[in-house]
Amino acid sequence: MPKTGVIRMGFGIVLGAAAGIGLIFYFYKQKRKKPSQENSSRYPIVHCQQNAMYVHEHAETLQPYHQVPWMRPEPVEGGDSVPYTSLLTHEEQAEVLNRLDFVLRSLIELRHEVQELRNSLQSLAGGIIEEVRSHLEESQKVIRRRRFIYPRERSDSTGSSSIYFTASSGAGNTDDGESEGGYTTANAESDYDRESDKESDEGEDEISCETVRTGRRDSLDLVNEDEAALSLDTASEEELAQLLHQADSLHRGTDQEKREGFQLLLNNKPVYGDKQDFLWHLARAYSDLYEITEDTEERQLYACDGKEEAKMALQLGDQSAECHQWYAILCGQCSEHESIQKRIQAGHDFKKHIDEAISLKPDDHMSYYLLGRWCYQVAHLGWLERKTASALYGEPPLATVQDALQNFLKAEELNSGFSKMGRIYIAKCYKELGDNSKAAHWLTLASELPVITKEDAEGSREMEEMQAISLD
């Protein structure tokens, strides 16, 4: 055999041996992998659901307008370790979406419950504050009234009862009796019965007399208590009348006196805050501070606080012309720096309460003056304001300069010369109606009155301008 053939035969034997060894190693490796794959395939569903939810969240976040297929890895049969992907079923996708919707609804309901809890806590705190405030006000009333308690003697009901029961027990001891020797006879018993009956009758008479005396003392005590309560109420009403009289005097004074009047009423609010006359006086004091204050924010605050006081006064009764009048005034002051819509609404409330005040007190010159001011302003409303009023109330308020003049003249008739500004308005109305001679006459009458309020000072400047124009 040649040498090359021997070499080829040896090389073939080596290759065959290597192939056999490799084949044996491959089968051995496959047998080792089968148990591990069986253990790892026990929980495929849990991993599939978690991976599906994770892929679904990121698919909706990054690509909300595309349908991204949801995949899950699963091992193949035959022991191959290479995974393949498959789509989630519609049922599984619906289940995931339902769970997410449930979580979202739960969060929304939780937020609503937290909001309701917060509102209830706020209302509870407000109720506690109001209760404490009312308790403090009642305590101050009691302290204030203690100064008027009159010393008097007062019988104790327990004492009278003890007297009655003492007499009763004393009378009851006369029922039983024995003879001196311990024996009783029919005659002795009858005699004793007569004596015991007599003694019991005397005891009952004493009891009845004592009861009558006790009843008289108690009735006198009740009468004294009623008289004391009546005297307390009378003293309280007298104090309130003196307080309001002092407030009226300060209201007619200087700016400093008006501030003092406001502080006086404010200090006594815990005591008389439930009295209607006191509340409208306090509302008027707020209006005074609105007139004499320069800062816009403070003016607005005074007007709104005064409006609330007047509103509280009306809640105690709607038959007070002064309550309606000052509520109307404060409505106008409170809306002075508001929008057109709020001014129109305030004007509607103003007219309503002024009409009510006139119906309750038709001889009050101030109500007619205020109604004249309202008519004059309505007569000079602009196009935008009329459209706004039409949108709010269906039709704009109707009033003319002639209506305003009639109300101003009525106020002057009821109280001549009560206001410099009132006569200036009469002159302005006559001038706009074309009667210049009467306008000049009323300007002359207005110049005779002193300047008292800031409104009078502004009216004096208007009067000078009107006089200068008439001279030209």
Q: Residue 274 domain-assigned?
A: yes
Beta bridge partners of residue 72, listed in sequence order: 86
pLDDT at residue 452, rounded to an integer: 84
Burial-class residue 424 by CB neighbours within 10 Å (0-12, 13-18, 19+): buried
Instruction: Count how many Cα atoms sit within 13 Å of the Cα of residue 270 in the half-sphere of its side chain.
Output: 15
Domain boundary among 361, 381, 404: 361
Residues 348 and 381 in one domain: no
Q: Residue 296 domain-assigned?
A: yes
Q: Residue 45 domain-assigned?
A: no
pLDDT at residue 295, rounded to an integer: 92
Residues 340 and 394 in one domain: no
| Confidence band, pLDDT 50/70/90 cuts, at residue 98 | confident
| Confidence band, pLDDT 50/70/90 cuts, at residue 355 | very high
What are 310-335's pLDDT values in tens digits?
Answer: 999 999 999 999 999 999 999 999 98
> Is there a contact between 422 and 369 (Cβ–Cβ < 8 Å)?
yes
Domain boundary among 327, 361, 395: 361
Residues 353 and 258 in one domain: yes
150-164, 320-334, 406-420: least confident range: 150-164
Name the average pLDDT for the chain.
74
Q: Does the structure show a pLDDT above 60 at 382?
A: yes
Q: DSSP 3-state assignment of 153? A: coil
SS3 of 207-266: HHHHHHHHHHHHHHHHHHHHHHHHHHHHHHHHHHHHHHHHHHHHHCCCHHHHHHHHHHHH
Nearest residue to 273 via CA among 130, 106, 70, 457: 130
Q: Does the structure show a pLDDT above 70 at 371?
A: yes
Q: Does the structure show a pLDDT above 50 at 438?
A: yes
Burial-class residue 406 by CB neighbours within 10 Å (0-12, 13-18, 19+): middle
Backbone angles phi, psi at 306, to 5 degrees: -65, -35
CATH for 273: 1.25.40.10
Q: Does the structure show a pLDDT above 60 at 189?
A: no
pLDDT at residue 218, rounded to an integer: 54
**Residues 6 or more apart in contact with residue 145 via CB below 8 angstroms:** 232, 235, 236
CB atoms within 10 A of CB 308: 15
> Is there a contact between 357 and 321 (Cβ–Cβ < 8 Å)?
yes
What are 228-250's pLDDT values in tens digits?
Answer: 555 556 778 889 999 999 999 99
16-25, 403-412, 457-466: least confident range: 16-25
**Where in the sequence is the domain holding 263, given as residue range(s)?**
251-361
Can you say whether residue 185 is alpha, beta or left, with left for phi > 0 and alpha for psi between -120 and 50 degrees? beta
- Alpha-carbon distance of 192 to 211, in angstroms, equals 28
pLDDT above 70 covers a percentage of the chain that reads 64
pLDDT above 90 covers a percentage of the chain that reads 36
Amino acid, res. 16: G
- Alpha-carbon distance of 89 to 61, in angstroms, equals 21
31-35, 271-275, 434-438: least confident range: 31-35
Q: Which sign does the torsion angle of CA 167, 170, 176, 180 carry?
A: negative
pLDDT at residue 167, rounded to an integer: 34
The first and second tokens of residue 154, run together, are 């007062």
> Is there a contact between 333 and 287 (Cβ–Cβ < 8 Å)?
yes
Q: Residue 431 domain-assigned?
A: yes
In angstroms, how far is CA 66 from the centroid of its own chain?
53
pLDDT at residue 192, rounded to an integer: 44
5-14, 54-63, 136-145, 406-415: least confident range: 54-63
Q: DSSP 3-state assignment of 87? A: strand
Q: Does the structure show a pLDDT above 90 at 309?
A: yes
Residues 390 and 443 in one domain: yes
Q: Residue 97 domain-assigned?
A: no
| Confidence band, pLDDT 50/70/90 cuts, at residue 270 | very high
Residues 383 and 415 in one domain: yes
Q: How far is CA 446 from CA 317, 372, 430, in A?
A: 38, 17, 14
What are 252-267's pLDDT values in tens digits?
Answer: 999 999 999 999 999 9
CB atoms within 10 A of CB 426: 24
pLDDT, greater one: 181 or 216: 216
- The DSSP code sequence of 326-340 is HHHHHHHHHTTTS-H
- Structurally, the chain folds into a number of domains equal to 2
Q: Does the structure show a pLDDT above 80 at 72?
A: no
Residues 333 and 401 in one domain: no
> Is there a contact between 328 and 307 (Cβ–Cβ < 8 Å)?
no
Domain boundary among 361, 378, 404: 361
pLDDT at residue 175, rounded to an integer: 40
What are 15-70's pLDDT values in tens digits?
Answer: 777 777 777 777 767 666 555 555 544 444 444 444 444 444 444 444 443 444 44
- Alpha-carbon distance of 403 to 368, in angstroms, equals 11
CATH for 424: 1.25.40
| Confidence band, pLDDT 50/70/90 cuts, at residue 125 | confident
Residues 451 and 381 in one domain: yes
Q: Residue 295 domain-assigned?
A: yes
**Residues 6 or more apart in contact with residue 427 via CB below 8 angstroms:** 438, 439, 440, 441, 442, 443, 446, 463, 466
Nearest residue to 53 via CA among 95, 104, 86, 83: 95
The predicted model gives 183-198 an average pLDDT of: 43
- Alpha-carbon distance of 382 to 390, in angstroms, equals 12
Residues 300 and 368 in one domain: no
> Is there a contact between 405 and 433 (Cβ–Cβ < 8 Å)?
yes
pLDDT at residue 16, rounded to an integer: 74
pLDDT at residue 123, rounded to an integer: 81
Q: Residue 313 domain-assigned?
A: yes
Residues 372 and 356 in one domain: no
Q: Residue 276 domain-assigned?
A: yes
The residue behind tokens 């208590």 is 225
Nearest residue to 404 via CA among 438, 441, 369, 450: 369
- Alpha-carbon distance of 41 to 35, in angstroms, equals 10
Q: Does the structure show a pLDDT above 80 at 220?
A: no
